[in-house]
A and B are shown apart, each in its own frame.
Chain A
Amino acid sequence: MANGINELFDEVINRGLCAGCGACITGCPYIVAHAGRIVALDKCTGSEGDCYKHCPRTFFDFDGVSEAVFGKAYPGGEMGQVLEIFMARATDPEILKRGQDGGTVTSLLALALEEGLIDAAVSTRMDAEKAPHGSVARSRRELLESAGACYEVGFSLEAYRSLPAESTEKLAIVGTGCQVEALGKIKREPPQNSPDPRNIRFTLGLFCGWALAPGTFHPYLKSLCELSQVCKFEIPPRPRYSFEFHFENDREAGSVSLDVIKPHINSGCHYCWDMTAEFSDVSIGSAETFPGWNTVLVRSPRGAELLALATEKGILETRELPEEKLSHLKWAALQKKRAAVEKITEKSGSKNDLLHIGRPPEESADILSRWNIL
C-alpha cells in the first residue's frame, strides 16, 4: 500500500486532522507551509514518504515509539512515562523576564548550550509581526530571542528538517505533544534526508491544550494590536479566562475573552490526545495557580540528569507540586484524551476506527484500556 504525499493529504490534511507540527515540510520540496496551511506544490511520485511516516496523525505505534524513546513499552495512564514531578523556575532574572511562566525551558537550553551538552536548540521563534517560525538557536542571545510562548501553530519542526542531513550538531528540540510524537516516530524510523535523530540529545515537551490556526487567528490578532509592539502573549490561569498580550513599554496589557479566541483553534488540535507531550525527556508547562512557576515532568534518565545539573548549578529552583495540583493535572490530561477519542469517533463514524490512535487497529482498544477510558 502506498503511503506518500497523496495519502497524507487524503487522510490527514484534507480531513482537518493536521496538527501543524511541521514534520512533513522542508525536508520535502513538494510540501510547504504557507499562511498557516500545509500546501502541496506538486505531485511526488514516491509511494513511501517520510511525510506520511512521521506525521503524528497518520498512525501511531505507542509501544514502538516508546521503545525508541524510552527503551520500554508505553505505560499509558493520564500522562505516560513519568519519573519525577515538581515545580521549577529560573533563577536568572533576564530569563524570568523573557521566558514564559518560570522560564524553565529557556534555562535548561541555556545550560545545555553552556555545558556543551548540545550545540543548537531547535524551537519556535516569533518574527517581528509575531508569526511563529521554526528556529535554531546556537547562543544564549539567540535563545532569549526565541523565548516566550506563541499560541499559534508554527510548523516549527521544519527547523530540524532544514538542517543539513550530514550535520553532526548535538541538538535539543522543544515542541508540543504533536511535535514530540513526530520526533518519536523520527527516532523510530530515521528520515532519509535530515540529521541523524541520535543527535537529538534532549526533547523538551511543552504542555498544550490546543494551538490557534494562523490562517484566521493571525489576521484577527493583527486587527487587535500593533503586533510589533507586543513582547509577550499569555493565557493566565483560571479564574481569569482570557488571552492577553503585553507590551514592551509598560503599556497596559490587552485582553480578550477565550470565547472569542476559541473559534480560531486549529481543527487538528481537537484530535490530539497528548496534553503533556508524553514522548519527551522533560515536559514543562504552567504551574497554573503558582504564577511565575512551571510544572515539570521528568520522563527519561537523561532528562533527570539535565534537571539535576540545573538544580546543582543553581540555575533552577524547585519545589514540590501539591497533591491536589497533580490530581488536577492528571484530570486535565485525561480529559484531553477523552475529548480526542470522542472527536476521532465522530470523524471516523465508528468506535472501532480510532484513526491515528487506532493504527495498527488491534492496538486501539489496548491503548484505551491503558488510558482507562474504555
Chain B
Amino acid sequence: MANIATLKPGSTCLLMGNEAVARGVLEAGAGVASGYPGSPSSEVIPALAEAASQTDIYVEWSTNEKVAVEVAAGGSFAGIRSFCVMKQNGANVAADFIVNLNMTGIGGGGLVIFISDDPGGGTSNNEQDSRTIAKWIDNPLMEPSSAQEAKEMIKWAYEVSEAVNLLTFVRGVGRISYTRSNVVPGELPRKAQPEAVFPEIWDRNNPRKSRFTSGPFPVFHAPLHEKLEKAREIFETSPFNSYTGPEKPELLIIACGASTSYCIEGVNELNLEDRVSVLKLGTTWPLPEKLVAKHLKTTCKVLFVEEMDPFVERSVMELAAALLPETAHLTFFGARSGHLTPYGELSTDSVIGALADIMGITYQPRDRAYEEMCVEAAALVPGRPINMCPGCPHRATYWAVKNGLSLDGRNGFVCGDVGCYSMGFAGPGFYQARTMHAMGSGTGLASGLGKLGRFGLDQPVLAICGDSTFYHAVMPALANGVYNNSNFTLLIADNSATAMTGFQPHPGTGQTATGEPAKVVELEAVCRAMGATVETCDPFDLPKTIDTLLKMMAEESGVKVVIMRHMCQLVKGKRKIAPSWKMHVDGSKCLADACGCHRLCTRLFGCPGLMVDGETGKAAIDEALCAGCGLCAQICPAHAIIGEEV
C-alpha cells in the first residue's frame, strides 16, 4: 500500500478505492478518524494510520461502530473535522447514536461517515443497502462512481456537512472500495488544525454551539427538515451530478454509484448514444428534485440503474407523481419492472440486458459456441468451498466442540457469531455453529436459550465469539446472561487479532491502530469481573479442551466462559513465527479408505494442508500449504501422520 500522505499532488497514482477515500480525508484536513474493521471498508483506517506520523490526524480502531461515530462526533463537537468508516452492518450498530445526532446537529468541524456496502455479499453475512439510513434520519447522502470521485466527494462532503450542520454520508460499494484505479491526488492542507475546545456554556460571544442534546425533539425536528431542504438546494448544483446524451432521449437512464460506468459501457456497446442518455446522480439523498424534474420532462421512458434497493427509483417515482401533469406519461424500468434485480451486484451485462429489452434490440453478447466452451471450461475448475486456513485454531476449537457435544450426548448446540469462526456453520467447522446474525448475537441468543430449562430445554447451550467481537458487542450479552442467571457456555476464540478483516488490533492486543502500545483489556479479568466461571484452553490441546467443555456443560447453572487461546496462523506468519512441526505421512500406516479411518483427515477434518496422494491413494501433506501446526497428528487414528519438532 502506498503511503497516502506522501503522494505527489497532480501525479497519477494507482490507488485502491479505500486508499483514495483516506486521501480525501487528509485533503479535507480532518483531524480525527475512527472506524471498526469490516470488509469492504477495512483498508481506510490502516491507510490513515500509516499517514498519521506525517500528518496531525488522530486515527483509531474503535471497539465498535457506534463508539467510532461517537469518537468522531466528539471531534466535530470540539471543532475538528472528523471522519468515521464502517461497513453496511456497522451502520446498524452506529444507528442508535446517529438517530440522535441528526437532532443535535454536529459541532464546528464537519463530520463525514464513509459506509462501504457489499452488493453480492461476498464478504458479509448479509446484503443490506445502508442508504436507507440517510433517508430515515434526514441527513445528506452521496455516492461516488469511481475512486477519484470518492476522494473528491469526501472533501466536498465536509463542505456540505458544515454548510447544513449535519453528518454527511458517503456510500461506497465493494467495487469502489476494492478496485485499484488511477487517482490524481490534490494538495494536502497546510494550515494546522483549529484548537479543539468543547464550547463554553452561556458564552454569548461564542457563536459555536455549546449543547448537543437531542431533546426536546420538537425544537430540533423542524430545523432538521430545513437543513435537509438546504442540502437539497446545494445538491441541485453539485459537481457530482452530470448528464450525457441527447436533449430528448428515447430513454433516460438515472444511475448512481459504481453502476454508472456499466450504463456508459452498455449504451456504447449497443450504439445507443443518440437515443439514450445517462443522468448520473452523485447526490442521492435528498434528491436534487429540480435537476431530476428537468430531465424527466424530456423523455417518456426512464431506467433506474442502482445496486440493491430501488432507492433512487422510488424517490424519482414519488417526484414524478408530484410533477404530473408537467411530464409526459412516463414508463419506469428498473427493479420494480424486473429489468434489474434489487439484490446482488449489477454488471455491464445486466445493464445491456435491460437496455436491449427496453429498446427492442436483439443482442448476443458472445457467440453460442464460445458460451458453451465457457461452460465446459468452468466445469474443469475444481470447486473451492470455503475453508479455514491451514493451522487455523478455529478448526481445533470446532473439532473439540464437535467431539465434546457428541460425548456429552444431550444434543447441545452452538450459537454462532460473526468472524472467521462464522464458517462453523459449514464443513470447516463441522456444521457446529447453528445461528449467525449480528455481532454479539450468538451470546444474546444463548442468554435467552439458557433460560428455557423451565419449558423443558435440557440441551447444553453454547455460544462462540471472537476476541474482537467480544469487545464489540458480546460484553452486554454476557452481562445479561450473568445478571439473569442464564445457563450457557461462551467460547471466546481468542486468536489475538481481528483476523477476518485483516489482523487489525483491538482492545486485547496491546497495540493501537497507529502501532503504539496500549493497555490490554484482559478477557479473563473482564469475564471474571462480570461473574462468569472462566477457564482458558489452548484448543490444540484437544483432550484438555474437550474435558473442559464437558466439565463446563455439566455445570447445571450459571454462565461459563472458555477462552480458546491460540494465535491466528496468519498472524504467526506475519510475525515470522516459525512452524512448530514438520509433518509427514507414513504411507504404510495410513488406512485411507479402510475400516478404522475412511479418510478422517481429508474427508472430515478438512485442513487444506492435507491431501490424497493420487498415486498411492494415501493421505499426504501439501507442503506448500501445511502450516506445521501438528493438529492432524492428534486426530489420525492410525498414527500415520507424524510431526517432527522443528
Interface residues of A (CB under 8 A from B): 27-30, 32, 34-35, 37, 39-46, 48-51, 191-193
Shortest beta-carbon distance from A37 to chain B in Å = 6
Give the 6 A-B residue pairs with the shortest CB-CB distance, closest first: A29-B637, A193-B596, A34-B407, A46-B598, A192-B595, A41-B406
> With a CB–CB cut-off of 8 A, which chain B residues contact A41?
402-403, 406-407
> Whose C-beta in chain B lies nearest to the C-beta of A215?
B409
> With a CB–CB cut-off of 8 A, which chain B residues contact A193?
591, 594-597, 638
Contact indicator A32/B594 (Cβ below 8 Å): no
Q: Which of B403, B407, B430, B595 contacts A28 (CB 8 A)?
A: B595
> Whose C-beta in chain B lies nearest to the C-beta of A50?
B595
Cα A41 to Cα B596 in complex, Å, equals 13
Question: 25 A-B residue contacts at CB 8 Å?
Answer: A28-B596, A29-B600, A29-B637, A30-B600, A34-B407, A34-B409, A35-B407, A35-B409, A37-B409, A39-B407, A40-B406, A41-B402, A41-B403, A41-B407, A42-B402, A42-B600, A44-B598, A45-B603, A49-B595, A50-B595, A191-B595, A192-B591, A192-B594, A192-B596, A193-B597
**Cβ-based interface call for B457 (8 A):** no
Cα A49 to Cα B430 in complex, Å, equals 23
Cα A46 to Cα B593 in complex, Å, equals 8
Shortest beta-carbon distance from A150 to chain B in Å = 22
> With a CB–CB cut-off of 8 A, which chain B residues contact A30?
600
Cα A41 to Cα B595 in complex, Å, equals 15
**Cβ-based interface call for B359 (8 A):** no
Contacting residues of chain B (418-441) with chain A, CB-CB under 8 angstroms: 430
Cα A59 to Cα B92 in complex, Å, equals 61
Cα A241 to Cα B274 in complex, Å, equals 105
> With a CB–CB cut-off of 8 A, which chain B residues contact A40?
406
> With a CB–CB cut-off of 8 A, which chain B residues contact A34?
407, 409
**Cβ-based interface call for B571 (8 A):** no
Indicate with 1 or 0, residue by residue over B392-424, a CB within 8 angstroms of chain A CB atoms.
000000000011001101000000000000000
**Cβ-based interface call for B604 (8 A):** yes
Shortest beta-carbon distance from B245 to chain A in Å = 60
Q: Which of A39, A50, A192 contacts B406 (CB 8 A)?
A: A39
Shortest beta-carbon distance from B429 to chain A in Å = 13
Contacting residues of chain B (541-581) with chain A, CB-CB under 8 angstroms: none
Cα A358 to Cα B282 in complex, Å, equals 80
Shortest beta-carbon distance from B586 to chain A in Å = 12
Interface residues of B (CB under 8 A from A): 402-403, 406-407, 409, 430, 591, 593-598, 600, 603-604, 635, 637-638
> Whose C-beta in chain B lies nearest to the C-beta of A27?
B596
> With a CB–CB cut-off of 8 A, which chain A residues contact B593?
46
Cα A119 to Cα B407 in complex, Å, equals 34
> Whose C-beta in chain A lies nearest to the C-beta of B593?
A46
Shortest beta-carbon distance from B154 to chain A in Å = 52
Contact indicator A48/B596 (Cβ below 8 Å): no
Cα A40 to Cα B405 in complex, Å, equals 11
> Whose C-beta in chain A lies nearest to the C-beta of B596?
A193
Shortest beta-carbon distance from B602 to chain A in Å = 12
Cα A345 to Cα B406 in complex, Å, equals 31
Contact indicator B595/A46 (Cβ below 8 Å): yes
Cα A177 to Cα B375 in complex, Å, equals 62
Cα A42 to Cα B597 in complex, Å, equals 11
Cα A79 to Cα B195 in complex, Å, equals 101
> Whose C-beta in chain B lies nearest to the C-beta of A49?
B595
Shortest beta-carbon distance from A222 to chain B in Å = 15
> With a CB–CB cut-off of 8 A, which chain B residues contact A37?
409
Shortest beta-carbon distance from B399 to chain A in Å = 10
> With a CB–CB cut-off of 8 A, which chain B residues contact A49?
595
Shortest beta-carbon distance from A159 to chain B in Å = 16
> With a CB–CB cut-off of 8 A, which chain B residues contact A32?
407
Cα A238 to Cα B406 in complex, Å, equals 42
Asked if A48 meets B407 with Cβ closer than 8 Å, knowing A41-B402, A42-B402, A42-B604, the reply is no
Cα A336 to Cα B375 in complex, Å, equals 68
Shortest beta-carbon distance from A127 to chain B in Å = 15
Shortest beta-carbon distance from B179 to chain A in Å = 43
Contact indicator B409/A39 (Cβ below 8 Å): yes
Shortest beta-carbon distance from B296 to chain A in Å = 61
Cα A240 to Cα B638 in complex, Å, equals 49
> With a CB–CB cut-off of 8 A, which chain A residues contact B637?
28-29
> With a CB–CB cut-off of 8 A, which chain A residues contact B409?
34-35, 37, 39
Shortest beta-carbon distance from B628 to chain A in Å = 22
> With a CB–CB cut-off of 8 A, which chain B residues contact A29?
596-597, 600, 635, 637
Cα A218 to Cα B638 in complex, Å, equals 32
> With a CB–CB cut-off of 8 A, which chain B residues contact A50?
595-596
Cα A132 to Cα B402 in complex, Å, equals 26
Cα A41 to Cα B432 in complex, Å, equals 13
Other 14 A-B pairs with CB < 8 A, given A41-B407, A42-B430: A27-B595, A28-B595, A28-B637, A29-B597, A29-B637, A35-B407, A35-B409, A42-B604, A43-B604, A45-B598, A48-B595, A51-B595, A193-B591, A193-B638
Cα A30 to Cα B406 in complex, Å, equals 10
Of B406, B596, B603, which is in contact with the most chain A CB atoms at under 10 Å from its CB? B596
Shortest beta-carbon distance from A302 to chain B in Å = 29
Cα A44 to Cα B430 in complex, Å, equals 14
> Whose C-beta in chain A lies nearest to the C-beta of B546?
A34
Q: Which of B406, B594, B596, B638 contacts A42 (CB 8 A)?
A: B406
Cα A46 to Cα B592 in complex, Å, equals 11
Shortest beta-carbon distance from B591 to chain A in Å = 6
Cα A32 to Cα B409 in complex, Å, equals 12
> With a CB–CB cut-off of 8 A, which chain A residues contact B591?
192-193
> Whose C-beta in chain A lies nearest to the C-beta of B638?
A193
Shortest beta-carbon distance from A180 to chain B in Å = 22
> With a CB–CB cut-off of 8 A, which chain A residues contact B402?
41-42
Shortest beta-carbon distance from B545 to chain A in Å = 14
Cα A57 to Cα B603 in complex, Å, equals 29
> Whose C-beta in chain B lies nearest to the C-beta of A52?
B595
Shortest beta-carbon distance from A231 to chain B in Å = 28
> With a CB–CB cut-off of 8 A, which chain A residues contact B638?
193
> Whose C-beta in chain A lies nearest to the C-beta of B599?
A45
Shortest beta-carbon distance from A29 to chain B in Å = 4
Shortest beta-carbon distance from B637 to chain A in Å = 4
> Whose C-beta in chain B lies nearest to the C-beta of A53?
B595
Cα A30 to Cα B605 in complex, Å, equals 12
Cα A49 to Cα B596 in complex, Å, equals 8
Cα A44 to Cα B595 in complex, Å, equals 9
> With a CB–CB cut-off of 8 A, which chain B residues contact A42?
402, 406, 430, 600, 604
Cα A191 to Cα B638 in complex, Å, equals 14
Shortest beta-carbon distance from B127 to chain A in Å = 32
Cα A154 to Cα B600 in complex, Å, equals 26
Shortest beta-carbon distance from A50 to chain B in Å = 5
Cα A72 to Cα B316 in complex, Å, equals 93
> Whose C-beta in chain A lies nearest to the C-beta of B405?
A41
> With a CB–CB cut-off of 8 A, which chain B residues contact A45?
598, 603
Shortest beta-carbon distance from A372 to chain B in Å = 38
> Whose C-beta in chain A lies nearest to the C-beta of B603?
A45
Cα A34 to Cα B404 in complex, Å, equals 10
Cα A40 to Cα B406 in complex, Å, equals 7
Cα A43 to Cα B594 in complex, Å, equals 15
> Whose C-beta in chain B lies nearest to the C-beta of A48?
B595
> With a CB–CB cut-off of 8 A, which chain B residues contact A46?
593, 595, 598
Cα A363 to Cα B617 in complex, Å, equals 41
Cα A35 to Cα B409 in complex, Å, equals 10
Cα A46 to Cα B591 in complex, Å, equals 12
Shortest beta-carbon distance from A142 to chain B in Å = 23
> With a CB–CB cut-off of 8 A, which chain A residues contact B603?
45
> With a CB–CB cut-off of 8 A, which chain B residues contact A192?
591, 594-596
Cα A337 to Cα B637 in complex, Å, equals 38
Of A28, A29, A40, A41, which is in contact with the most chain B CB atoms at under 10 Å from its CB? A29
